[in-house]
């Protein structure tokens, strides 16, 4: 009898120990189910109304509703990507928002940068670069320096202002911020030609290729989710988000013969200089023309 009791007690203790270890593991893992034992995929309830840059979306039309539903589903359930976008937005949106306001563009255009680059300095297979995915000829046309030594498409402030200039030009041509945004994908000439051919002046009435057809709806979807993250299941704390890095700027109109040595003189390293000045392509800055540049340096103690 004593042996049986001992065995029961031992088994019970083992079960409790395993349960405790499982509980501790759940607490530590990123896949904490928050009390739910299953993972469910739900159909989404579309917003009753939505707009882009103060221009209403005609959700009463079946094809418009389906196109929005598609992009909401794709972006809601691509959880890792959306969580990264939310984290990066905390770091980069304040700067983009400030420039958009200064340039007279609606705040919604920050979401155009999101769908273009996911708020990273990326390069497309066609050669577009930066947050705003600007092609080299367009960059030069609008005053950005693009060569083997400097590529200002990677300069977030300067490239954002170029994107604003382009979009304001498109808005003046079409009279619509929605069409201006669509032209960022298809080109001003391309959108103009389609409007004339199809005898309309409305983006939502155009028959478009797949990419441009999805373009505005991708912007609308990320706007909706990023504006209401908890509604779509994204839970985080302020400390989970990426933070802006305090920086000071050093102005110069001379060459830098060795950026790695220049970095050491500023009490940082080559990697840090390149992270915060990605428009510097090589380990030197030529500057034969004595152009004025500003080099961003993180404040002391950040790294």
| Largest interatomic CA distance in the chain | 96
Two structure tokens written together for 224: 């909706």
Overall average pLDDT of the 215-222 stretch: 98
Which segment of 1-10, 126-135, 175-184, 260-269 scores lowest on mean pLDDT? 1-10
Q: How far apart are CA 70 and CA 57, in angstroms?
A: 15
Mean pLDDT, range 191-201, rounded to an integer: 98
Query: pLDDT digits over 219-260, tens only?
Result: 999 999 999 999 999 999 999 999 999 999 999 999 999 999
CATH number of 51-240: 1.10.530.10
Per the CB < 8 A criterion, the answer to whether 75 and 218 are in contact is yes
pLDDT digits (tens, 9 = 90+) for 167-194: 999 999 999 999 999 999 999 999 999 9
Nearest to 182 by CA among 173, 169, 170: 170
Arithmetic mean of pLDDT, 193-198: 98
Write down the domain spans for the chain. 51-240, 247-298
Between 30-34, 260-264, 267-271, the lowest mean confidence (pLDDT) is in: 30-34
Phi, psi of 148 (to 5 degrees): -75, -10
Residues 222 and 111 sit within 8 Å (Cβ to Cβ)? yes
């Amino acid at each position: 009898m004593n042996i049986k009791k001992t065995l029961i007690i031992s088994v019970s203790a083992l079960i409790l120990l395993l349960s405790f270890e499982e509980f501790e593991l759940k607490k530590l893992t990123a896949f904490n189910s928050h009390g739910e034992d299953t993972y469910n995929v739900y159909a989404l309830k579309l917003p009753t109304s939505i707009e882009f840059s103060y221009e209403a979306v005609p959700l009463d039309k079946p094809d418009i509703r389906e196109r929005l539903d598609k992009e909401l589903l794709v972006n809601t359930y691509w959880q890792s990507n959306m969580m990264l976008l939310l984290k990066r937005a905390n770091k980069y949106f304040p700067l983009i928002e400030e420039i958009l306001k200064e340039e007279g563009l609606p705040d919604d255009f920050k979401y155009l940068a999101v769908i273009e680059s996911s708020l990273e300095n990326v390069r497309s297979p066609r050669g577009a670069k930066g947050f705003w995915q600007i092609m080299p000829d367009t960059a030069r046309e609008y005053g950005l320096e693009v060569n083997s030594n400097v590529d200002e498409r990677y300069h977030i402030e300067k490239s954002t202002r170029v994107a604003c200039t382009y979009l304001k030009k498109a808005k003046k041509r079409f009279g619509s911020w929605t069409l201006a945004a669509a032209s960022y994908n298809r080109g001003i000439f391309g959108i103009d030609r389609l409007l004339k051919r199809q005898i309309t002046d409305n983006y939502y009435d155009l028959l478009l290729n797949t990419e441009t057809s999805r373009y505005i709806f991708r912007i609308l979807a990320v706007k909706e989710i990023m504006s209401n993250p908890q509604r779509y299941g994204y839970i985080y704390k302020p400390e989970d988000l990426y933070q802006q890095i305090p920086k000071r700027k050093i102005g110069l109109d001379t060459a830098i013969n060795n950026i790695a040595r220049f970095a050491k003189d500023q009490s940082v390293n080559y990697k840090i200089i390149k992270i915060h000045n990605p428009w510097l392509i090589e380990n030197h800055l030529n500057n034969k023309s004595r152009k004025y540049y500003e080099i961003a340096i993180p404040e002391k103690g950040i790294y």
